[in-house]
Structure 1
Amino acid sequence: MTRLIRAFTAAALCVAAAAGAPAFAQPLQKIVLRTDYKFNGYVAPFALAVQNGYYKQAGLDVSIQQGQGSGTTVQTVASGADDFGLADASIVVLAVTAQNIGVKLVSVYTQTGTMGLIYRANAGFTGDLKQLQHKAVISSSGTADLRMLSPALASAGMNTDDVQLQIVDSNARVPMFLKTNGAYLTGFATGDLLRIRSRMPDAKYMPYAKYGVVAYGTGLIASDDMLQKHPDLVRKFVDASRKGWEAAVKDPQAAVDASLKLYPDLSREFVQGGLKIALAEQLHTAATAAHPIGWTDEGDWKKMLDVLAKYAGVHDPKAPAAYYTNQFIAQ
């Protein structure tokens, strides 16, 4: 009987091998990636990683779910409601510093020129911030682009009292800008700017980076609990995501197409425009250019924390290692 069982098992294994499938395939582990806000161009590489099977090759079944802002995503990831999330680095710093929320950035994909001022082509703005004195500047409470306005203005010896700051709901900021002649809008190059250009194609953009404001943008976050208990899972997810970004660099259109397969109601032009900016202008700072996509530099972090401490209400920031780690990025 034992010989019969062994013979049967061997035959079954041979059949499975001939069929090109493992005899005892492990089920894929379901993972939720929560975006920061809806679906922008910089989410497209993750969609491409799904389509190309990079996550499945790592044993993961990844679902990309749209978020309602970096602050909310930080909370859901910290609580374990979501496995991974995309969030703005400055919002992560504020959450960790002020509320001791247990998350870290394990990769940052938009690293420079992410935030700035949006304005009309006929505004006559030359880049001199003193031209903003007494002008309407529209923004939204709690956003990273509002926090970075103060250090940008400070570079010209100004503060927010020197402009007519108008705080509106995040959903109202673009409509408010479009109907307010002579106004400026704080915003993101891969989001607000593209929404405005769909209505006002000649709209202009000046990044805060022009004024020496160092601020990492959107990155991948995981909870401290995830990092401590499941480091292999984090490493697999980070590596598969990096492959998605590398593939998007080689074939951006494939990443856009993959995005529309996940969310058919997306605007192709919006996703395509955001991805183009992310890949061409935001992947690296000078300090990270020689490293893999997602890798961040301690020196950049120190500069950013200094800016946030002076101008953005981040009191007594911790050491950079409290906010990020490169340990899951293969060199």
Structure 2
Amino acid sequence: MFTKLIAAAFAASVAVTGAAHADTDMPFALDWKFEGPAAPYFAAIDEGFFADAGLTVEISEGKGSLDAIPKVATGAYPIGFADINSLMRFLDQNPDAPVTAVMMVYDKPPFAVVGRKSLGVETPKDLEGKVLGAPPPDGAWAQFPIFAAENDLDMSTITVEPVGFPTREPMLAEGKVASVTGFSFSSTLNLKRLGVPMEDQSVILMADHGVDLYGNAIIVNTDFAKANPEAVTGFLKAVAMGWKSAIADPAKAVDALIKRNPAADAGLETERLQMAIDANVMTDYVAENGMGGVDADRMASAIEQTKSVYEFQSEPDAAKYFDSSYLPTDGSLMLK
């Protein structure tokens, strides 16, 4: 059983305590690099939001959601950040894994196909007859079958080139592929840095073309959460406050990021953060309801879309994928 296999790793890596207090360590596994959208979490450290909750938080880079989810499921990290759709499939394949999502961050997912207009890619149908670069562990690539089905794409005419994350944008910049799958705010600005002007880029956001999914969420090891409910709620409150601070002053939040990634371009990462805020985090739903929660009807629709391209081993259960019970109820989730 998965639970038995991870028990030793969990016990060795995470000290299970009761209520949150000064020495509650909560290492946090990101899904990706220290880029603009990660700035709110560093702002939460530097502005003392985690410390106010009695938490010591150290943030680690990731290599995609398929890297972050097992880290949390095995207990190597008590908490992380990953695509909820990838989490659904992971839990279907590992039904005993003690991991679930507890706070939605990307209410509108950044899954995108980014192409170059000069290479003939501006609309979904333009992908036919061309080469698409897709990293196998990429969250956007995982949702591409839904996007393809919703847009009636003839996959037999699309050449899919498996690429690595480091080579994805360089290959598009060099014209070796006509488009790539990725997060909109990552691929576009990486291309810009490589000299591809924004006016030559086409950003086909899957959410604008029939894909009714949620995006990345805070995920937690459920064994840890059950033993430390106050710590988890305190962590989520600090995350919300970090995002609220970043929305008010993106450049200041990016300053906290640059401390951890001095090689990053502050201007570019501020632009990347602002893109995530505008397109993915601060949606109409979040403006009205606050960040963190999910709409039950939309979640059901997302599961149905996933079922159309993925054969679940057992009947999917939304309650297994998202648990709202740890969200703070003190109004801190309202971002404005």
Q: Which residue of 1 aligns with 2:114?
A: 118
Check 1:268–1:88 CA distance in 2 against 1; reply closer, same or farther (3 A cut).
Answer: same
The alignment of Structure 1 onto Structure 2 pairs a total of residues equal to: 305
Which SS does the other structure have where 2:133 is aligned? Answer: strand
Partners of 1:49 and 1:98 lie apart in 2 by 34
Among candidates 32, 35, 46, match of residue 37 of structure 1: 32
8 A Cα contact 1:288 1:296, kept in partner: no
Question: For structure 2, which runs of at least 5 residues remain unmatched after alignment?
Answer: 1-20, 330-336
Letter in 1 for 2:254: V
Letter in 1 for 2:260: L
Which SS does the other structure have where 2:294 is aligned? Answer: coil
For the pair 1:197 / 2:192, whether they are aligned, the reply is yes
Which SS does the other structure have where 1:37 is aligned? Answer: coil
Normalising to structure 1: TM-score of the pair?
0.86
Letter in 2 for 1:211: H
For the pair 1:131 / 2:126, whether they are aligned, the reply is yes
Identity of counterpart residues, as a percentage? 23
RMSD: 2.0
Alpha-carbon displacement from aligned partner over 1:118-170 (angstroms, at most 9, x marks no partner): 1113244442x222221111102132211222221212322422311111223
Question: For structure 1, which runs of at least 5 residues remain unmatched after alignment?
Answer: 1-25
Which SS does the other structure have where 1:149 is aligned? Answer: helix
Letter in 1 for 2:106: T
Moved >6 Å (runs of 4+): none
Check 1:201–1:252 CA distance in 2 against 1; reply closer, same or farther (3 A cut).
Answer: same
Q: CA deviation at 1:174?
A: 1.8
Partners of 1:133 and 1:69 lie apart in 2 by 27
Deviates most, 180-189 or 93-102: 180-189
Partners of 1:68 and 1:118 lie apart in 2 by 20
Alpha-carbon displacement from aligned partner over 1:88-130 (angstroms, at most 9, x marks no partner): 1111111111222321111121121401111113244442x22
For the pair 1:325 / 2:301, whether they are aligned, the reply is no
Alpha-carbon displacement from aligned partner over 1:236-276 (angstroms, at most 9, x marks no partner): 11111111111111111111011112332333234212211
Q: Which residue of 2 aligns with 1:86?
A: 81
Superposition pairs for residues 144-155 of structure 1, below 5 Å? Answer: 144-155=139-150
8 A Cα contact 2:24 2:231, kept in partner: no
Q: Which residue of 1 aligns with 2:69?
A: 74
Partners of 1:33 and 1:243 lie apart in 2 by 16
Alpha-carbon displacement from aligned partner over 1:38-76 (angstroms, at most 9, x marks no partner): 223221111111011011111111111112221121111
Letter in 1 for 2:108: T
8 A Cα contact 2:102 2:219, kept in partner: yes
Which SS does the other structure have where 2:26 is aligned? Answer: strand
Q: CA deviation at 1:315?
A: 4.8
Which SS does the other structure have where 1:68 is aligned? Answer: coil
Which SS does the other structure have where 1:296 is aligned? Answer: coil
Which SS does the other structure have where 2:103 is aligned? Answer: strand
Letter in 1 for 2:127: L
Letter in 1 for 2:278: A
Superposition pairs for residues 1-331 of structure 1, below 5 Å? Answer: 27-100=22-95, 101-127=97-123, 129-180=124-175, 183-199=178-194, 200-202=196-198, 203-284=201-282, 287-331=285-329
Partners of 1:92 and 1:28 lie apart in 2 by 29
Letter in 2 for 1:242: A
